[in-house]
Each structure stands twice: as C-alpha cells, then as structure tokens.
Amino acid sequence: MFDTTPILVGAGQYVDRGGPVPDKSLSPADIAAFVADAALKDCNAARSVGDIIDVLAVARLFEHSLKDSVMWPNPFGCSENMPGSVAQRLGIKPGRLIYSEVGGETPQRLVNQMAEAIYRNDIRGALITGAEALATIKNATRAGIEFDWDEEVAEDFEDLWPDKPMSSDYENRHGVNVPIQVYALFEQVRRNELGYSTKEYRESVGKLFTAFSEVAEGNPYAQFPTRRSADEISTVSSDNFLLTEPYTKWMVAQDAVNQGAAIVMTSVGMAQELSIPESNWIYLTAYADADDLTVSERPNLSASQAQGDALSYVVDRSNLQPEKVDLMDLYSCFPIAVTSTCGHLGITPGTRPLTLTGGLPFFGGPGNNYSLHAIAEVVWRLRGKATGDALIVANGGYLSKHSVGAYSKTIKGHWLPSDFRPDRGKNAKVSLTESPNGMGVVESYSAIYQKNKRYGGYIIGRLIETDLRFLAVALPSDAKALNVLFSDNPIGSKVSVTHRDGINRFTAA
C-alpha cells in the first residue's frame, strides 16, 4: 500500500552580507530560486525531485504586504508572478503556483496545509520557498546603483490574501496598525504586570535577547552575526536609538536583509520511489493554526489566547515536554512574541535555548519568510540525530495569526491530520465605544519617537463611568498628553477623552 505519510526531505538557505554589485546582486526571485534548487538537491534523491513537485509556494515579499500600497519602496521592480519566475528558473511545471498570504506564520501554515494535501494523496510533492533582497534595495538606492528586476511570466498563479483584515477601521483611524507601535501595547501591559520600570524592563529584554544574538553569531546564514551584550541591547545610544517605548533598535526585527530559505515536502511512499534516503526524512508530528481577535477586542493585551490554544493542542498531540524539546524556535519579531509563547509553554526565559537561527533582530527578519529558515534548520539538525524533536512557533500580524509545528526524527503510529478547533467561547470580545467622551483610565499605551525625540502616540483606555474600552491619540502639540505618554508608567493614569470627526483624542485629566 502506498504510504502517504507527509515528510520534509530537503532544505536550502542563503545570505548575502556584501554590498550591492551591478549585474551580480541577486533579485528576490533569483534568491528564491537559488534556495529552492539547493533544497531539491539536498533531498539526495536518485531521481529528479523536481518532476514530482505539484505545488510551488512562495512567501509574499515584504513590499507586497499591503494590498493597496507599497510596504517597502523598491525602485528596481520585481516579478509580477513570483512563483512563476521561480518555476521558470528551476525548469519545473507544478500544477499549482501559490503566492502566499501576508504574515510571519505563513511558512509554517503552508507546511501544515501541504502535509494534509500530501496525506490525502492530492499532491506528490511541494516546494516552499521565499526570499528578500531588502538590503540590496536599501544600499543600492543610497549608492546610486540601479537594477532591473521587472519580470512578466504568463503562467497563472494563486495570489492569496487573508479572509479578514488584521485591524479594524476603528483601529486604523487611530493608527493602531503599525507593528512596532501595536506590539508596544502588549509589552507595556506585561511590564506593568511585572512591576518593572521602563529601564528595568529594557534590561530584562537585554538579558533575553543577548542569548539570541549569541546563536546568530554562530549561524552561517545570519545577516547580523554579532554577539551583543545585554547592555548593548538595552542601553539607549546614538546607534541603538529609541523607536517606540520600550524598544531600542536591537530589540526588534531587522528587515534590511538579503536572505532566502526553502524546503521540500513529499510522502514516505514517494520518497521511497525516488530513493530519498530515510536519514533525510523529518516528520511533522502535530500542528495547529489559530487566528485571534483584533487587538482592541482582546481581553488580555499581554498574550494571545489563540496562540495558547494552538500551543496546548500541539504539545498534547505530540507528547512534547517544552522544557526538554531538543530544538525550539520561537518567533521573535519583538520581545513580547517570545515571552508570551514562553508563558503558554510554561518555560522561564533563560532556562533553555529559544531560537535555532538567532532570531529576527540578529539572524535577520526576512519579511514573511523568517520561519522558513527555522524550519530549514530543523530539517538539517534533526537529520543528524537518531532520535529527536523540535517545535516551531510562528506568528503573524499583531500576535494575530499563529501556526505551530512539532517535528520529529521518528513517528509513532499512523500520521493523522490535525483536528484542532479553537475554542472561540474562551476569548469573549471586550465591549468598545468608538465615540467616548469623559474621564478614562489608561489600560496601555504606545509612545512613539522620531529621530530619538518624543513625537506622539496613542492609548487604549477604559471609561471610568461605563468601563467601555476606547482608543485615543495624543496630538504632537499637546504637551500634557505627551507628558502622560512619556511618563515612566502611564498605565492607570486618568485622562480626559473627547470624540470629534471620527477620531478620539486624550489629554491629561
């Protein structure tokens, strides 16, 4: 009987730390194809693996992460059909070409989806790849070097977008849609719960992330392979400037990278037909995908309930003991992404390694494709073990979209698709008002800097009279509002909030 148990059998990675070179620096399509080719070769098959690739999926470029505008300006153009361009370079003809959704969870979510398709015998093999050349774009623009990366490929492809937006119209009107500012809301609630001052909280982040930088230092595919001390990460300086409280530059994802990663998936039966050695086979033993409420609707602003549900399912289904998992990579775009996951897993940060790559601030944050690098590391590292397991936790949006995968060198019993169903009833929406007037209390806040100087920001608050939650912005010209935002702990402060022309504004009470 043909065995359709899904497995990962090949991986590839790439980094370019050099400056832009005319006619030599690779475009994103070039990099995605390079690592895809490397992953196909890494399968060590006796026959061509490219012949059985029925699905080629490419992670969405960072510059295409907004539907109606450009996320990152690119004067050099790009392929209008990224999966088609990659397939053309590889000389393969998959039945499906996919340009993935937006979000850091998409690499793991694609693995989960492809595993089910392979198990159902809908496809024989899948190739997932992705790349960014943001460092080349940035540095070439500064140096006056030009590239022509425009491409047209006639093949049809699936251009995927999320079913629903990650932020509401109410949130958009108040600026609650820029990741570094939104994650700060979560960070500040956690800081307040711990009873830390801003300085103490930065110091705790420095201790957390210095271990990540140490991993990056030893990773040949890291964009920034430099170990940074806790003080370097947490201390504000001209090089480590403030962005949004409490974040300094080295506390957040660094997206100016030239990186790519790819993996190959197939079934046990097809691997046997292709003579892919069993030593290459890595099993996805459990997985789950979950999406959370929009930020302003969540009852808990310091963690994601949806993520907790997904993690609990995967840990139980795979019989993992989080503190003893051989390999683990937690999404690390911002510190709260790590600490929130640790809280759900019952892990104390600092007691075990939490990254395989070095994390998004130090390994690099290649847009929507970061977690594919972590998955590639799993493929390679488990391959050299007789036994072993791994846990990948990927996150997209604003702790909004979560995909989790447990991997193992071996599998017990028969592989079964996930039956995870999030418990929507556990995460009841908070009641909001879009037109508050009166006195309120600050529940969380985002204090924003420009060029290391106080600029403005916004709060999430509760009306004292009704306890309804509201959003409100501080005008850059309102010194009293800025004094609230940039005090050491605005949470719990009383404010006066008014609604006018669809926008809520607050000032000191």
User: In the structure, how many helices (H) and strands (E) does the chain have?
Assistant: 13, 15
Q: How many domains does the structure of the chain reveal?
A: 2
Q: Which pLDDT belongs to residue 426?
A: 64
Q: What stretches of 431-485 show up as alpha helix (H) in DSSP? A: 479-485
More confidently predicted of 421 and 505: 505
Beta bridge partners of 328: 391
Average pLDDT on 430-446 reads: 97
From residue 502, alpha-carbon distances to 173, 174, 403 in Å are 8, 9, 35
Identify the weakest region by mean pLDDT among 9-13, 335-339, 349-353. Answer: 349-353
- The CATH number of residue 372's host domain is 3.40.47.10
The edge-to-edge listing of strands for the beta sheet with 401-408 is: 158-159, 96-99, 55-58, 125-133, 258-267, 6-15, 282-291, 401-408, 389-396, 327-330
CA distance 215 to 363: 8
Residue 423 has pLDDT above 80, yes or no: no
Q: Which pLDDT belongs to residue 452?
A: 83
Is residue 348 helix, strand or coil?
A: coil
Q: Which domain holds residue 489?
A: 438-508
Q: 494-500 and 438-450 as β-strands: parallel, antiparallel, unpaired? A: antiparallel
| Contact in structure between 149 and 85 (CB atoms under 8 Å) | no
pLDDT tens for 375-419 read: 999 999 999 888 999 999 999 999 999 999 999 999 988 999 999
The number of angstroms, rounded, from the C-alpha of 359 to the middle of its chain's C-alpha atoms is 10
Residue 425 has pLDDT above 80, yes or no: no
Task: Judge whether 90 lies within some domain.
Answer: yes
Strands (E), 16-124: 55-58, 96-99
Task: Judge whether 215 lies within some domain.
Answer: no
Residue 499 and residue 376 share a domain = no
Task: Judge whether 192 lies within some domain.
Answer: no
Average pLDDT on 44-56 reads: 97
3-state helix, strand, coil in the chain (%, to 5): 35, 25, 45
Residue 402 and residue 276 share a domain = yes
| Contact in structure between 311 and 341 (CB atoms under 8 Å) | yes
CA distance 497 to 508: 9
Residue 142 and residue 25 share a domain = yes
- Is the peptide bond preceding residue 246 cis, with omega within 30 degrees of 0? yes
Task: Judge whether 100 lies within some domain.
Answer: yes
Residue 382 and residue 445 share a domain = no
Residue 34 and residue 115 share a domain = yes
Residue 460 and residue 351 share a domain = no
Residue 104 and residue 38 share a domain = yes
CA distance 450 to 448: 7
Q: Which two tokens stand for residue 111?
A: 């693995």
- Tell which residue, 175, 51, 197, 66, has the closest CA to residue 125: 51
Q: 453-463 and 158-159 as β-strands: parallel, antiparallel, unpaired? A: unpaired
Q: Which two tokens stand for residue 412?
A: 């017990």
**Residues 9, 14, 18, CA angle at the centre, nearest 5°?**
175
Residue 394 and residue 314 share a domain = yes
CA distance 60 to 54: 19
Q: For 475-484, which contacts have Cβ atoms below 8 Å and span 24 or more sequence positions? A: 475/505, 478/505, 478/507, 480/507, 480/508, 481/505, 481/506, 481/507, 481/508, 482/454, 482/456, 483/508, 484/442, 484/508
pLDDT tens for 173-191 read: 999 999 999 999 999 999 9
Residue 30 and residue 130 share a domain = yes
Residue 467 and residue 389 share a domain = no
- The CATH number of residue 483's host domain is 2.40.50.840
| Contact in structure between 361 and 219 (CB atoms under 8 Å) | no
CA distance 371 to 261: 9
Identify the weakest region by mean pLDDT among 229-243, 386-400, 412-426, 479-493. Answer: 412-426
Residue 260 and residue 140 share a domain = yes
Residue 427 has pLDDT above 70, yes or no: no
| Contact in structure between 113 and 172 (CB atoms under 8 Å) | no
Question: pLDDT band for position 66 (50/70/90)?
Answer: confident
Task: Judge whether 464 lies within some domain.
Answer: yes
Task: Judge whether 360 lies within some domain.
Answer: yes
Task: Judge whether 433 lies within some domain.
Answer: no
Last-in-domain residue among 359, 378, 412: 412
**Residues 430, 162, 28, CA angle at the centre, nearest 5°?**
130
- Measured from the Cβ of residue 492, the count of other Cβ atoms closer than 10 Å reads 9
State what percent of residues in the chain have pLDDT above 90. Answer: 92
